[in-house]
Chain A
Amino acid sequence: MALLQIARLSKSYDNETKVLKDISFSVKAGEFVSIIGPSGAGKSTLLRCVNQMVPISSGEVIFDNAPVTQLKKRALRQLRTNIGMVFQHYNLVPRLTVIENVLHGRLGYKTTLQGIMSRFTEKEKEQAFYLLRKLGIEEHAYKRCDQLSGGQQQRVGIARALIQGPKLVLCDEPIASLDPNSSKIIMDHLKSITSELGITCLVNLHQVEVAQQYSDRIIGLNQGEVVFDGTNYQLTEEKTNRIYGTEMRELITV
């Protein structure tokens, strides 16, 4: 049974131009799937349709047997606790400490009052430190996030997503603001989320090579349409050109 099913999904922000056109695919539990495509293809929008950060225009998104599009307030919050999200710009609260930012990932499980009073259990705090240790940033736990390097901040972002105990992690260009070294660290961590914890990953990437190196499966998006869906062996030069348009490809790999 697929963890995530997307069927005939369309999205338009202004009711005129369709940013996503009739998209259908499904993702099995434990899969590591990359979405590639040129800038403006609709990759970020697609991810945000999965957890309803943007309302979809038509079609269906089914996550873990629940129809995402029909969920309202409480049920939607509950759904979101099962989906972690990692962002290109980390989206942390820069003035707060690392550990505070990680614990934000538990807010979805709290009542408003519990959350505001920061009532986190010992187990949750232990889990937070455990994750920081796994990600190699435990010694920074009490530092403010704005004192960390980009790669370290992204690891805080990953810890925040993992502490939710998610079934799926959505990553929107997690390495687009990082140097090659930090990029490798981040991608290795994301890969191990899937291989060790069995959590499904859906990752937007703009480097084809990285996508090929890490993914079980690659989805190519161009102007809001799925133009490729297969393993990295099936992603030939010609198909890559089709995703990016021939000239674009040269620009991107340089």
Chain B
Amino acid sequence: MSEKVMQKRKWQMTIALIIIIAITYLSAAITKFNFIDGLVAFPEAIGWMFSNLLITQESLEKLPTILDKLVETIFMSIAATTTAAVVSIFLGIMGSKTTSINGFLSTFARFIASVSRNIPVVAWALILLLSFGQNSLTGYLALFVGTVGFLTRAFIESIDEASHSAVEALTATGATYFHIVNKAVIPQSLPQMISWILFMIETNIRSATLVGILTGTGIGYTFDMYYKSMNYNVVALVTFSIVIAVIIIELMSNYIRKVIM
């Protein structure tokens, strides 16, 4: 009996593997991507990187302006995330089955979450560019909208998971809706929510660079500018400082997570 199951599993695995290989081959054929050419180009590309993307003495002079822009970008990401978090808490409470007030609001919240989440941040930036033009507001809004979608979804799950039973108990004591949200739902799901917010700050700092290239603001703009003027040494420095910043933020949020959990 169990041997038969094992046999079946093996077959399923083999078939799955064949399908994956087939798909890979097919997509390579369709896009005319040649594995061999790709591999051959590799050493050359790496060689180019090492010879051009060097941080030189000269490029270090640009460091203060770069850091300036970097800090601006980080703060914009944090601002976009925290403001989005406030909106998402409301949408999350409305959208969660445990705490929803009525079906319409619940569907509405889930709809907003779904729309803003399923359109990539870059697409939002491009859409918003049309109406708001190239400025930092556009970048902020693009991050904000994407974050609302993601966080609302995450908060709905945190609330549902964390507090269903306590909500039942408090309802049975005769507590009001706001009592229940305040005394049971928020205390129980807050650490999880903060964890998601930290995750979104990290994500948004990365996306902000990309969005900045499009909207001509922040560190993304700096990157784009030096990239287009082929000053690759500075490009390397910009990239390096972004990487360092992201790592620092990640370490910090990991620490915060440990403390609050």
Q: A residues within 8 Å of B by Cβ?
A: 51, 53, 76-81, 83-85, 87, 89-96, 100, 104-105, 107-110, 112, 115-116, 157, 160, 164, 170
Contacts and interface: CB of A to CB of B under 8 A. Distances in A.
A116 B181 CA distance: 9
Contacts of A96: 183, 187-188
B172 A80 contact: yes
B174 A108 contact: yes
Contacts of A78: 174
A91 to B, nearest CB: 4
Contacts of B176: 77, 107, 112, 115
Nearest to B184: A93
Given A85-B172, A104-B170, A107-B174, A95 B191 contact: yes
Contact of B172 (A53, A92, A100, A112): A53
B179 A112 contact: yes
Given A93-B183, A104-B183, A80 B169 contact: no
Contact of B165 (A87, A100, A105, A164): A87
Given A89-B165, A110-B179, A94 B188 contact: yes
B124 to A, nearest CB: 35
A93 B168 CA distance: 11
Given A107-B183, A115-B179, A115-B183, A91 B168 contact: yes
Contact of B178 (A77, A87, A109, A116): A116
B173 A105 contact: yes
A81 B187 CA distance: 23
A163 to B, nearest CB: 9
B15 interface: no
Interface of B is mostly: helix
Given A92-B169, A112-B176, 15 more contacts: A53-B171, A76-B174, A77-B174, A80-B171, A89-B165, A93-B184, A95-B187, A96-B187, A107-B170, A109-B174, A112-B179, A115-B182, A116-B178, A160-B173, A164-B173
A104 B182 CA distance: 11
Contact of B173 (A76, A81, A89): A81
Contacts of B191: 95
Nearest to B173: A108
Contacts of A80: 171-174
A83 B187 CA distance: 25
A92 B40 CA distance: 62
Contacts of B175: 77, 104, 107-108, 115
A50 to B, nearest CB: 10
A53 B168 contact: yes
A85 B169 contact: yes
Interface string B180-211: 00111001100100000000000000000000
28 contacts: A53-B168, A53-B171, A78-B174, A79-B174, A80-B173, A83-B172, A87-B168, A87-B169, A89-B165, A90-B165, A91-B169, A92-B169, A93-B184, A93-B188, A94-B188, A104-B169, A104-B183, A104-B184, A105-B173, A107-B176, A107-B179, A108-B174, A112-B179, A115-B176, A115-B183, A116-B182, A116-B183, A170-B172
B188 A112 contact: no
The 7 closest A-B pairs by CB, nearest first: A108-B174, A80-B174, A91-B169, A107-B175, A85-B172, A91-B165, A81-B174
A92 B167 CA distance: 9
Interface in B97-112: none
B166 interface: yes
B40 to A, nearest CB: 57
B147 interface: no
A93 B163 contact: yes
A196 B171 CA distance: 27
A115 B184 CA distance: 12
Q: Which of A85, A93, A107 has the most CB of B within 10 A?
A: A93
A56 B172 CA distance: 16
A246 B183 CA distance: 46
A171 B169 CA distance: 12
Given A95-B187, A95-B188, A112-B179, A107 B173 contact: yes
